[in-house]
Amino acid sequence: MVLKHLTERQAHIALISIHTAITTTDVEGLKKVLADALDFGMTINEINEEIVHLYCYVGFAPACRATTVFMNLVNERRSKGIHDEQGREASPLDESESKYARGERLQMFCAGMTAEQLRSGFFGFNPLLDFCLKEHLFADLFARDLLSYVEREITNVSALAAIKEPMVESHYGGALNVGVTEGQLREILRLIGQGVSAEAAEVGLQRLEHTLNIRNQKQ
């Protein structure tokens, strides 16, 4: 794997995300990238963490399918004498602030918006969705330290671009906000184009250019 911008670990994370998103059509592809990530040194807990994170973006069913594929793979490797590292658990979360406050703080950081801006638009129209995003997605999942913020946004962008989901544009912005580089985003799209779908990569590139143009106009 020749990489210019992503680290090898980041590339494994991207590939797991890409193949989890399309696992209905390529189970063997997912199995291969999971095995490659284990061989590289990612732990069982880190990969499980990524799959759990993905359920919020590509759905519960794909995350369950990916978990089944991963569980069977680990058991198969154990039967062959390969013992993969379980890895550490996530550190305890800071309970000095409420879940809502923690989630809102992280959401503002990723979105690059104020609390008032986040409550407008469709979040204001559907307060329950806003509440779930803050108290569950951000407070319960995003705050966990088994994956970094950069790694979580790489996870998001990789999956959404692979399935040509228009919401990837907002996550391009979120990825850039937390420290993912433009070069890394372009390399994720190259991984999609090389291993999954040239069409998805092209659509993702068009959406990335649109996102970058809007950001440049605001600067």
- Asked if 178 contacts 153 with a C-beta cutoff of 8 angstroms, the reply is yes
Burial 67-88, CB ≥16 within 10 A → b, else e: bebbeebbeebeeeeeebeeee
Is 80 exceeded by the pLDDT of residue 140? yes
pLDDT tens sequence across 105-135: 999 999 988 888 888 877 788 989 999 999 9
Pair (212, 117) in one structural domain: no
Pair (155, 77) in one structural domain: yes
Report how far residue 163's alpha carbon sits from residue 157's, in angstroms, rounded to the nearest whole number: 10
Q: HSE-up of 6 (CA within 13 Å, CB side)?
A: 25
Return the percentage of the chain with pLDDT > 70, whole number: 99
Pair (110, 76) in one structural domain: no
Residue 1 lies in a domain: no
Residue 3 lies in a domain: no
Pair (209, 186) in one structural domain: yes
Q: Which domain holds residue 112?
A: 97-138
> Tokens standing for 142?
């995003």
The pTM of the full predicted model, rounded to 2 decimals, is 0.95
Q: pLDDT tier at 182 (50, 70, 90 boundaries)?
A: very high
Report how far residue 9's alpha carbon sits from residue 30's, in angstroms, rounded to the nearest whole number: 16
Pair (76, 169) in one structural domain: yes
> Tokens standing for 211?
């996102």
Q: Which residues contact 57 (CB under 8 A, 6 or more apart)?
A: 155, 156, 159, 160
Domain of 214, CATH number, reads 1.20.1290.10
Report how far residue 200's alpha carbon sits from residue 64's, in angstroms, rounded to the nearest whole number: 23
Report how far residue 210's alpha carbon sits from residue 144's, in angstroms, rounded to the nearest whole number: 31
Q: What is the CA radius of gyration of the chain?
A: 17
Number of domains in the chain: 2
Q: pLDDT tier at 218 (50, 70, 90 boundaries)?
A: confident
Pair (151, 212) in one structural domain: yes
Residue 116 lies in a domain: yes
Pair (12, 84) in one structural domain: yes
Residue 58 lies in a domain: yes
Average pLDDT over every residue of 158-164:
97
- Asked if 13 contacts 23 with a C-beta cutoff of 8 angstroms, the reply is no
